[in-house]
Each structure stands twice: as structure tokens, then as C-alpha cells.
Amino acid sequence: MQLSFFFPGQGSQTVGMGKVWYETHVSVQQRFATADRILKEEFGFKEALSTLCFNGPDEILQETRVCQPALFVLGYAVAEHLKNSETFKKHTVVCATGLSLGLLTALAVADVWDFETSLRVVATRGRLMQEACKPQPTGMTALIGGTTEAIEQLCREFDLDVCNRNCPGQTVVGGVCENLKALQSVAKERGFKLAVPLKVAGAYHSRWMQPAREAFEVFLKGIPFSAPALPVVSDTTGEILSDPDGIREELGRQLTSTVQFEKCLRKCGTLGFDLGLECGPGNVIAGLAKRTDGNLKIQSAAEPKDLETLEN
């Protein structure tokens, strides 16, 4: 069987994530132990990442500087376990990708960096994005339904950016919070089924992340990149990332560019995988895939029991 790895982005985190994986797999325990040490020593975490993942409190786990490393460590550890298991003597991984932060997890699993370097990259990204949210209150709203023309008109009228094109009928816009509230008051009369505020601290993948992008690009200049060991699909262009310098540029550009995840999913579908594994909490990507193309089969790997069929 041909498999593909998918890694979720910010918003998928939930208290208790990864606890069963941690309790049942030594390799997962080891990755969390390393992350706990690095984040405490180098990034000033007062509580262990593992504690925040398994026990909360929720308000701290939701912080951008915390949830991005949390999602990365769990996704990486699950994929690493699968790659080293007997399962992969029977199956082949043909590609990997992720949604926003998840793209960095995909690159790490493809050996662009080692685990510790990857964690430092992710933790720095999360910290810079959180800092970029401080100057003014910004956020994101998911629009369900509506036309491309209607979305563009709303963005012009309320000074918003398109942050994510996730799947047919689901677009995320971002901007100043008061403008998003005004948008929500008129969305239904403009032809949208729903306008759902997202639980995020800022307008990610928009012009409001420019300070984070600039600082992140400077940081990445000092990080060595290797060519991916398997095809990794960009979530902003839908193209395969292969050149180390191009990947470095992509990671800076991603912070202020629209995530084209529908395009990314369709590209993955051309690479011939039979089953995708969503390595991390929840099943957001599986849901987006179902609404994008009914032939794309992606299942959650949030818990070890989710993979019993695959491993038999």
C-alpha cells in the first residue's frame, strides 16, 4: 500500500493530545523528554511541554508559542514510530505535507532537519508569530459557502486578507478584530452559510504577520537545510518542495501568504497514495480532503488504536 503523511496545524491542539501515544511507546516518551528539556532551557518554558499537552491548562496550550511545538512533537513522534515499525515493511510512504505549521512537521519527517533543529525552528516560529499579534487585536474567520467574488468584495470592504483556501466552500479571512465582527454581521445577507470566528490569537498568513516573517527569515539564514528524503508538497503553491534554498524561502513567505490547502490536497492526490495518515490530534485534514475529493482517503492517527487496521 502507498501511504502519505499529513500533519495538522494550529487549532487542532486539545488537552490530552498524545497522552496514549506517550504512555504506550518509548520512542514517543523520548521525543517529549528532549522537547521538554530544550523548551525549558532555551525558550523559557516554565512547565514541561508534555505536561501542557496531557493536562493543560487549555489557555496556555492554546498560546501560539506553545501549541506549535506541541503539534510538531506529537506529529513527528507518531510518524517516526510508524516509519520504524513493522508496518512499513509492507507499505511505502510516497509524500508528506501539512497545514501551516504542519508543513514544517512534514519537512522534519522528510529529514530536512534533525529533530532538535526542527524543534528550535518551530518554537522560534511560534514565538515570533505570537509577538506579531501584540500591536493590535487581529483574528481569523472561516467563511462557509459564498462565491470567490463575494469573498474578494468583503476583503476590500472590510480591509481583510484571504488567509486560507482550505477546501471547496471553506475560506478563512483575517484582519483587525473589529472588522471581522462587522463582516460577521453581514455574511449571511451576502450569501454565506456561516461566518465562524476561529480560536486563534491573530491574523496568520496575512500582511499582519510581516514582522514575524522578517525576523523568521533572518533566523533561518543560520539554519542548515537538507533536500527532503521524500516528496513534500507546499501548502501555499501546491508544488513539490525539493531545493533547500527554495524551502528556506518558502517558510518565510508562508507566514504572509494564503494557504492553498485545497490545491495542496489535489496535488497529493496525483502522487498515487492509497491512504493518508493524519499524524496528530483530531481529523481536520481528513474532513477537508473528503470535501475536496471523495477519492482522497485520509484517516486520523490521533490514537494508536486508529492504526490497528493498518498494522494488521
User: Each residue of 90-106: pLDDT tens digit?
Assistant: 889 999 999 999 999 99
**pLDDT of amino acid 86:** 82
**pLDDT of amino acid 311:** 58
Contacts 24+ apart (CB under 8 A), 134-139: 136/176, 136/208, 137/176, 137/177, 137/178, 138/174, 138/175, 138/176, 138/177, 138/202, 138/203, 138/206, 138/208, 139/174, 139/175, 139/177, 139/180, 139/197, 139/198, 139/200, 139/201, 139/202, 139/203
Domain 2-133+206-311 in CATH 3.30.870.10? The answer is no
Which residue numbers in the chain have pLDDT < 50? none
Q: Is the pTM of this model over 0.85?
A: yes
**pLDDT of amino acid 8:** 97
**pLDDT of amino acid 312:** 55
Q: Where are the domains of the chain?
A: 2-133+206-311, 138-197
**pLDDT of amino acid 87:** 75
**236-265 exposure pattern, b = at least 16 Cβ within 10 A, e = fewer:** bbbebbeeeeebbebbbebbbbbbbbbbbb
Architecture, CATH, for domain 138-197: 2-Layer Sandwich (3.30)
Q: Which residues are catalytic?
A: 100, 205
